[in-house]
């Protein structure tokens, strides 16, 4: 397809007639259980734009939910995928291993925080990676309890639903859930006003009183929460929780599925505070859009599971591995960590200025190319989900694809492609349509 012109251009209504037609077909063939942020059908994507079947070109501030950080169809990803697909598409790593799998694990072991001896496994998704991290932590500690946080999102499988905080739409009606999952309060500076160490103390007190330190297999934490609303914990929260884990013999697991791979301006968000997790969970941005997840961690933990204890038929598929190697090469050669920092340096001050003028913007936060605004009723911290929905729709109508997030649905989140330069800001950013 080649590089598309990086423009925001609407040539029909949104959705256009071809998308409307396809949507009718979709309704007849596909389950109603799947929602869509923007009901236009994709025809092509490259760099930071997505073109629909009616020829509308959207600036993509969703990146398929923090996946295509390297752009819509990164040349290195495309080349790797094409060559690997032509060579072989599958053997199952448990049947016959292949070099690409090993090489992705080598990259993960190098790039994740800490210079200790590491090992990795590859899986198919973020949720599957979370499940495996819990299995490894339980096998290593021989303890049952999993501690997670308010506003957390860890996936949609049975165990990860239990770990995810938000009922609607992720959990409602799908119980009973897996046991031995305990929820602690998260550091949420906009809403709790606590310092990082204070918020950590509050969480640790609850864990010690309600779970018991000796029962905790692992504490699983997103360094910046994703679905929960891009909640950036106050400085000191992460290091204190990690230190408590070390002192208590619990495994500290960083769920970097959304924050990893240059999204926040570092290879991994934990690095910003020098935190070295025992296990790091990755997926989303790892492979430029192909399904891949991973668990990377201390060799002694990763090797504590008996041979044959982990794995799966498709896990670490060779085509997905080739995509990951292409994506990681692009992140290095284009220095997408620096690019993500530039995006944050552009967006955060602009949104900060907007906040001074628009009282409905309660908070502007994020890091690198992971930026959000939290919308509230002016003068309060009362969530305004309806406004978030309307602003997001106004953006869509102007050709900017945005997402909402948050436990209360009142957070507008921006996940631009790190390779994308924000040159044409839509008019919706001035809020002309919503006030």
Residues at the interface with ligand PLP (CB under 6 A): 125-127, 130, 153-155, 222, 226-227, 255, 257-258, 283-284
Can you tell me whether residue 263 is helix, strand or coil?
A: coil
- For residues 59 and 389, give the distance between their C-alpha atoms in angstroms, rounded to a whole number: 18
Beta carbons within 10 angstroms of residue 352's beta carbon: 13
| Cβ proximity to ligand PLP, 41 vs 153, nearer residue | 153
CB of 283 to ligand PLP, least distance (A): 5
- Whether omega for the bond prior to residue 15 falls within 30 degrees of 0, making it cis, is yes
Per the CB < 8 A criterion, the answer to whether 217 and 250 are in contact is yes
Cβ-based burial of 433 (10 A; exposed 0-12, middle 13-18, buried ≥19): middle
| Cβ proximity to ligand PLP, 140 vs 149, nearer residue | 149
CB of 293 to ligand PLP, least distance (A): 6
| Cβ proximity to ligand PLP, 280 vs 283, nearer residue | 283
CB of 330 to ligand PLP, least distance (A): 20
Tokens representing residue 421 in the block: 């330069």
| Cβ proximity to ligand PLP, 130 vs 394, nearer residue | 130
Q: Which residue is nearest to ligand PLP (CB)?
A: 126
Q: Which of 134, 137, 142 is nearest to 251 (CA)?
A: 137
The DSSP line for 128-163 is: HHHHHHHHHHHHHH---EEEEETT----SSHHHHHH
CB of 63 to ligand PLP, least distance (A): 12
46 Cβ partners below 8 Å, 6+ apart?
Answer: 1, 2, 3, 4, 71, 72, 73
- For residues 385 and 200, give the distance between their C-alpha atoms in angstroms, rounded to a whole number: 28
CB of 35 to ligand PLP, least distance (A): 14
| Cβ proximity to ligand PLP, 74 vs 222, nearer residue | 222
| Cβ proximity to ligand PLP, 46 vs 124, nearer residue | 124
CB of 413 to ligand PLP, least distance (A): 11
- For residues 301 and 310, give the distance between their C-alpha atoms in angstroms, rounded to a whole number: 13
Tokens representing residue 240 in the block: 């204190």
220 DSSP assignment? E
CB of 196 to ligand PLP, least distance (A): 20
| Cβ proximity to ligand PLP, 227 vs 374, nearer residue | 227
Terminal-residue alpha carbon distance, the chain:
40
CB of 255 to ligand PLP, least distance (A): 5
| Cβ proximity to ligand PLP, 255 vs 384, nearer residue | 255
């Amino acid at each position: 397809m080649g590089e598309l012109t990086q423009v925001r251009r609407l040539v029909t209504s949104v959705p256009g007639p071809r998308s409307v037609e396809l949507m009718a077909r979709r309704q007849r063939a596909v389950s109603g259980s799947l929602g869509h942020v923007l009901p236009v059908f994709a025809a092509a994507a490259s760099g930071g734009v997505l073109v629909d079947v009616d020829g509308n070109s959207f600036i993509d501030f969703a990146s398929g939910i923090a996946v295509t950080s390297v752009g819509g169809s990164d040349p290195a990803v495309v080349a790797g995928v094409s060559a690997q697909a032509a060579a072989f598409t599958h053997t199952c790593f448990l049947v016959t291993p292949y070099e690409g799998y090993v090489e992705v694990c080598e990259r993960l072991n190098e790039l994740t925080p800490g210079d200790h001896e590491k090992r990795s496994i590859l899986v198919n998704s973020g949720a599957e990676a979370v499940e495996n991290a819990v299995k490894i932590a339980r096998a290593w500690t021989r303890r049952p309890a999993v501690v997670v946080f308010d506003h957390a999102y860890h996936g949609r499988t049975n165990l990860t639903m239990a770990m995810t905080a938000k009922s609607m739409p992720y959990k409602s009606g799908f119980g009973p859930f897996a046991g031995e999952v305990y929820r602690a309060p998260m550091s949420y500076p906009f809403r709790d006003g606590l310092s990082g160490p204070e918020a950590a103390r509050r969480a640790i007190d609850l864990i010690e009183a309600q779970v018991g330190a000796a029962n905790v297999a692992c504490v699983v934490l997103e360094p910046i929460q994703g679905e929960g609303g891009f909640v950036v914990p106050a400085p000191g929260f992460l290091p204190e929780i990690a230190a408590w884990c070390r002192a208590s013999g619990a495994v500290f697991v960083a769920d970097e599925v959304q924050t990893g791979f240059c999204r926040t301006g570092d290879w991994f968000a934990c690095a910003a505070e020098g935190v070295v997790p025992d296990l790091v969970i990755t997926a989303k941005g790892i492979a430029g859009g192909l399904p891949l997840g991973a668990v990377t961690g201390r060799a002694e933990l990763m090797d504590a599971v008996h041979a044959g204890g982990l794995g799966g038929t498709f896990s670490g598929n060779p085509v997905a591995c080739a995509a990951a190697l292409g994506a990681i090469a692009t992140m290095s050669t284009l220095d997408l960590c620096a690019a993500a920092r530039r995006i944050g340096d552009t967006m955060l001050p602009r949104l900060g200025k907007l906040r001074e003028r628009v009282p409905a913007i309660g908070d502007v936060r994020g890091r690198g190319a992971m930026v959000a605004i939290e919308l509230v009723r002016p003068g309060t911290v009362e969530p305004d989900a309806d406004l978030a929905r309307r602003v997001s729709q106004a953006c869509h109508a102007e050709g900017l694809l945005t997402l909402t997030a948050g436990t209360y649905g009142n957070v507008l989140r921006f996940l631009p492609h790190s390779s994308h330069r924000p040159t044409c800001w839509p008019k919706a950013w001035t809020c002309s349509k919503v006030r």
